[in-house]
Amino acid sequence: MNSIVIDTAFVVATMLVAIGIYGLLNSKNVIRVLLSSEIILNASILLLFSLSSLAGKSYTPLIFSVFAIGMALTEVVVAFASVILYYRQKGSLEVD
């Protein structure tokens, strides 16, 4: 893989992490907080995929990336259930 593509992936992942941290710090809505954490998780998965191209024929980063995607799916399901319970108890999705 071309080094320019890898550098671009690193820059995009860094920007995604910055956007996610900004969203975590400045939002009062539970759904926005969860989306911001998902943006950060997707940035880390992007970094893992780009690092796998640097590793050559090693499949370890790719396997770890697939595992991280599966964990992200599980996190989304649990977070969605938690948001539903939070809304039923509080009547609003605003963080206190």
Domain locations in the chain?
A: 3-90
Q: What end-to-end distance do the CA atoms of the chain give, in Å?
A: 47
By C-alpha distance, which of 28, 37, 61, 33 is closest to 47? Answer: 61
Question: What residue spans of 1-96 are helical by DSSP H?
Answer: 3-26, 30-54, 60-90
CB atoms within 10 A of CB 36: 19
pLDDT of residue 29: 87
Instruction: Tell me what percent of the residues of the chain surpass a pLDDT of 90.
Output: 26
By C-alpha distance, which of 48, 47, 25 is closest to 36? Answer: 25
Query: 0.85 cut: is pTM over it?
Result: no
pLDDT per residue over 18-47, tens digit each?
Answer: 999 999 999 888 889 889 999 998 898 888
Q: For domain 3-90, give the CATH number.
A: 1.10.287.3510
